[in-house]
Structure 1
Amino acid sequence: MAAQIFSAILVILIGVGGCVAYFWGANKVVDLIFPSRGVSGQAAIDNLRRQGLIRPWLFIGPALILLVVYLIYPVISTVITSFQDKSGHGFVGLANYQWAFGDGQFRNSIFNNLLWLLVVPAACTFLGLVIAVLTDKIWWGTIAKSLIFLPLAISFVGASVIWKFIYEYRGEGQVQIGALNALVQWLGGDPQVWISMPFWNNFFLMVILIWIQTGFAMVILSSALRGIPEETIEAAVIDGANPFQIFWKIMIPQIWGTIIVVWTTITILVLKVFDIVLTMTNGQWNSQVLANLMFDWMFRGGGDFGKGATIAVIIMIAVLPIMIWNIRQANREGL
């Protein structure tokens, strides 16, 4: 444990130190090549102009290089591989895409992803909005928001391990250490292996992502609610509107754009969900989703690069339009 902690600290120090050294050194080199001190007249003005042109690239240049190497090139490579065979060398045309839409496991993964899309964004947005409204009305609201936001700081794998203990099942006659089964047993019911119940296990897995992402929705929506002009609320109160009418007819319309942004942001996350399913069920008991199916075809059982890449491309095609619309909407809302 100590070795891992030391390694993590060392990586952070090297990473941060390297960034500081790079930007300090790069700016120093620019100052040496195009000095603005010790020269006068037009030469100083020209050097300052050149420095202004070069310095932004010193900051965005490394990011652009990493973007090309770790995002753009892999995307192009994945698209090409999706038209190739198991080894990733022989061209097979659209055979992998024909396989995908004719495969039962792929269709089951699509169905599960649709379930996640229907439930998780709606639940996170609704709960986040309700919590944001309620916590703004109480004196300990900041503390409540901090506690609700806390799961967002936990990795998906870490959150899954926590919930695995909640859903834990022990055999008949044994003490149930899982919180849910202990509660069911206390109420007189029979303990269940919750995550191995086909169809319903999807909802038990969704609870984990809802638990994590509700804090995100709450923070964004709380900020939007505070931006509502008080005059509109006061005018509604004077006109005799009750709290429910104020909420639905005055507040919601004014933050509708932000609600959509939150909804679509969580939708993009749901389309890529992987860690939770892998940790909790490994895709067993009909809980497979597209990202896990891609992982299985790409890296397990000898691997099939063509089929794995095909699923990756399908996920990308599903995410891309939502992401583009989300960015435009966020820019329009000033988020």
Structure 2
Amino acid sequence: MSESIFQTLLAVVVSVGFCLLYFAGSNFVLDRIVALPFATRNRREAIRSNVQPWLFLAPALLLLGVYLVYPLFETFRLSFFDAIGQTFVGLANYVWVFKDDNFLITIRNNFMWLLVVPAVSTALGLVVAVLADRVWWGHVAKTLVFMPMAISFVGASVIWKFVFDFRGPDAEQIGLLNAIVTGMGFAPQAWVTLPFWNNFFLMAILIWIQTGFAMVILSAALRGVPNDTLEAARIDGASELQIFFAIMVPQVMSTILVVWTTITITVLKVFDIVMAMTGGQWDTSVLANLMYDWMFRGGGDYGRSSTLAMVLMLAVIPVMAFNIRRFRAEEAQR
């Protein structure tokens, strides 16, 4: 334990020391350059203003290049090669992708996750944000709803394993869901093994986590709705449902889209929950799990796993492009 703490502190000290040394050294070199005799005052200022920002950005750009840009191009290259990454096979891996039954099941699962999780999480977050502001214990309710955000996906999966636990038809059930089912006189079920429906049980975990995120963001947005508008609507005889759908929702629609796209990106990258709950068995695999299986199980296949990674990246791009375009449109209106 003490050795781990020492190693962590040493890593922090070395990292901070390296950063300080880099910035001090780079500024020292820059000062020497601008002090050269041939440089006029205006030229010195031009050199400093043009070079100094890049000195500060250089470490970050280097890390992005090594850990993001290079892996992207290497993955794209490997998607055109065989399992060991040596023989060029052209588009064979991409042809295989759309003919593989497991991939088609995975795409179906991803599509269901994209339809259900962002919509339900955003809707529940909005409802909780509205209702919690109407009761005196609303802050407590918001805290309880937000708490799952502090739990990792794997930790949340472990918690929900106990909810869905199944001990056999004749054994005493400790799973919450089976305890409720047996208490109502029905037979217990191995919920995560039920084809098709097990996907929705896994989605419930991510909805449980992301509802708190949606609630916090939307609660802040709702506070920006003018009270005068709400009071005027009530005086005119509008019901609370009419006020909610005709006034509140339209005024926070941009925030709703932000929350929805953010959760959508999270869903596209979902891996931990499926891996911890089912390992991708019983037709619950998603793209990230299928990619992991082809890369790290059964000896590894560089070509097919890289192809799946590219498909996953291409699935994320439209959502990111939509989010960036909408953000720029909002900035142009300000």
The TM-score normalised by the length of structure 2 is 0.89
Tell me by how many angstroms 1:254 deviates.
Answer: 1.0
8 Å CA contact retained: 1:272, 1:291 = yes
Count of matched residue pairs: 326
User: Does structure 1 residue 269 correspond to structure 2 residue 266?
Assistant: yes
Q: Secondary structure at the match of 2:185?
A: coil
Relative to structure 1, is the Cα distance of residues 55 and 229 closer, same or farther in structure 2, using a 3 angstrom cutoff? farther
Give the match for residue 17 of structure 2.
21
Q: Secondary structure at the match of 2:77?
A: helix
Give the match for residue 110 of structure 2.
113
Of 53, 60, 84, the residue aligned with 2:57 is: 60
8 Å CA contact retained: 1:258, 1:330 = no
Q: Return the alpha-carbon distance in structure 2 between the equivalents of residues 162 and 196 of structure 1.
A: 17
Q: Secondary structure at the match of 2:81?
A: coil
Give the match for residue 199 of structure 1.
196
Unaligned runs of 5+ in 1: none
Relative to structure 1, is the Cα distance of residues 319 and 110 closer, same or farther in structure 2, using a 3 angstrom cutoff? same
Give the match for residue 126 of structure 1.
123
User: Does structure 1 residue 71 correspond to structure 2 residue 72?
Assistant: no
Letter in 1 for 2:9: L
Q: Return the alpha-carbon distance in structure 2 between the equivalents of residues 229 and 46 of structure 1.
A: 53
Matches within 5 A, 1:137-286: 137-286=134-283
Deviates more, 1:22-31 or 1:64-73: 22-31
Deviates more, 1:135-144 or 1:276-285: 135-144
8 Å CA contact retained: 1:176, 1:182 = yes
Q: Secondary structure at the match of 2:285?
A: coil
Deviates more, 1:274-283 or 1:140-149: 140-149
Q: Return the alpha-carbon distance in structure 2 between the equivalents of residues 323 and 118 of structure 1.
A: 17
Letter in 2 for 1:133: V
Letter in 1 for 2:139: T
Unaligned runs of 5+ in 2: none
Letter in 2 for 1:21: G
Deviates more, 1:24-33 or 1:303-312: 24-33
8 Å CA contact retained: 2:120, 2:207 = yes
Relative to structure 1, is the Cα distance of residues 251 and 131 closer, same or farther in structure 2, using a 3 angstrom cutoff? same
Q: Return the alpha-carbon distance in structure 2 between the equivalents of residues 262 and 180 of structure 1.
A: 30
Relative to structure 1, is the Cα distance of residues 15 and 55 closer, same or farther in structure 2, using a 3 angstrom cutoff? farther
Give the match for residue 317 of structure 1.
314
Q: Secondary structure at the match of 1:102?
A: coil
Deviates more, 1:18-27 or 1:175-184: 18-27
The TM-score normalised by the length of structure 1 is 0.88
Identity of aligned residues (%): 56
Tell me by how many angstroms 1:136 deviates.
Answer: 1.9
Q: Return the alpha-carbon distance in structure 1 between the equivalents of residues 8 and 237 of structure 2.
A: 57
8 Å CA contact retained: 2:169, 2:187 = no
Relative to structure 1, is the Cα distance of residues 207 and 34 closer, same or farther in structure 2, using a 3 angstrom cutoff? same
Deviates more, 1:177-186 or 1:307-316: 177-186
Q: Secondary structure at the match of 1:296?
A: helix
Letter in 1 for 2:217: I
Q: Secondary structure at the match of 1:189?
A: coil
User: Does structure 1 residue 135 correspond to structure 2 residue 132?
Assistant: yes
8 Å CA contact retained: 1:297, 1:307 = yes
Tell me by how many angstroms 1:301 deviates.
Answer: 0.9
Tell me by how many angstroms 1:317 deviates.
Answer: 0.5
Matches within 5 A, 1:288-307: 288-307=285-304
Q: Return the alpha-carbon distance in structure 1 between the equivalents of residues 234 and 48 of structure 2.
A: 57
8 Å CA contact retained: 2:265, 2:319 = yes
Relative to structure 1, is the Cα distance of residues 322 and 241 closer, same or farther in structure 2, using a 3 angstrom cutoff? same
Q: Secondary structure at the match of 1:124?
A: helix
Letter in 1 for 2:192: I
Q: Return the alpha-carbon distance in structure 1 between the equivalents of residues 133 and 53 of structure 2.
A: 41
Relative to structure 1, is the Cα distance of residues 239 and 10 closer, same or farther in structure 2, using a 3 angstrom cutoff? farther
Letter in 1 for 2:21: G
Letter in 1 for 2:254: G
RMSD: 2.5
Relative to structure 1, is the Cα distance of residues 248 and 300 closer, same or farther in structure 2, using a 3 angstrom cutoff? same
Tell me by how many angstroms 1:139 deviates.
Answer: 2.7
Tell me by how many angstroms 1:230 deviates.
Answer: 2.5
Tell me by how many angstroms 1:99 deviates.
Answer: 0.7
Tell me by how many angstroms 1:34 deviates.
Answer: 6.0
8 Å CA contact retained: 1:132, 1:218 = yes
Q: Return the alpha-carbon distance in structure 1 between the equivalents of residues 161 and 241 of structure 2.
A: 38
8 Å CA contact retained: 1:34, 1:48 = no
Tell me by how many angstroms 1:43 deviates.
Answer: 8.9
Tell me by how many angstroms 1:132 deviates.
Answer: 0.9
Deviations 1:45-73 (A, max 9, x none): 98777665555445432221111111111
Q: Return the alpha-carbon distance in structure 2 between the equivalents of residues 274 and 122 of structure 1.
A: 19
Deviates more, 1:325-334 or 1:75-84: 325-334
Tell me by how many angstroms 1:12 deviates.
Answer: 5.1
